[in-house]
Amino acid sequence: MPEELGRIVGLECQPLITELGCIVRKHAPLQVTKWAKIDKADRESLLQMAKSHPVGENEAPVCEEEICSEVLGHKSGYIRGRGHGPKPNRSLSKHHDKSKLEVANKRANELEEKLNAQQKDMEVIKATQKVTNEILQALMEQMQGVTQNATNEILQALMKQMQDERHMSANAIALAPDPLS
């Protein structure tokens, strides 16, 4: 049984679980609701039957705590700081907590690496955006200059055209014969 999983696994696990359940159901007193309430002699007898069960090639012999945990489940109760729920097996919970911590640390490291990569990407994006904004600002200034120059040229041409028309009107009036004379 892998300690980090806290349960029996593998190719031969289901027959073993079934056999352990059958042993307990056949030989445990039905009126007893908790493992601790079973007579010590009966408990030892059940454990010996379970331990004598043949184990698969890749599996280790099963210990008393594992048999109790697998067959009878976990105690339910109140744990300070964790609330109501199953009480962890003390000997297995230390290893289980350690493996959970290792998994959490590994996940934290992966997330930190991902965060660092994203921060580097953001720095590149910000630098690119800054350059793009500078280019855009320069283009806007050029466009304003071109627009201003074009507007000035158009205004100068219109003013010249108006002055030419005034001169032509003034010349036409000066050259025209006086109708009253």
Give the range of the structural domain holding residue 19, as residue numbers without chain letter.
1-76
Q: How many domains does the chain have?
A: 1
In sign, the C-alpha dihedral spanning 34, 40, 43, 47 is positive
Structure tokens belonging to residue 129: 């955006």
Query: Is 158 a domain residue?
Result: no
Whether 139 is in a domain gets the answer no
pLDDT tens profile 26-66: 666 556 666 667 777 777 776 776 666 555 555 555 565 66
Q: Is residue 137 part of a domain?
A: no
pTM exceeding the 0.75 threshold for the entire prediction: no
Question: b/e for 26-55, b at 16 or more Cβ within 10 A?
Answer: eebeeeeeebeebeeeebeebbebbeeeee
Alpha carbons 87 and 68: distance in angstroms, whole number:
13
In a domain? residue 154: no
pLDDT tens sequence across 93-110: 565 667 788 888 999 999
**Residue 61 placed within a domain:** yes
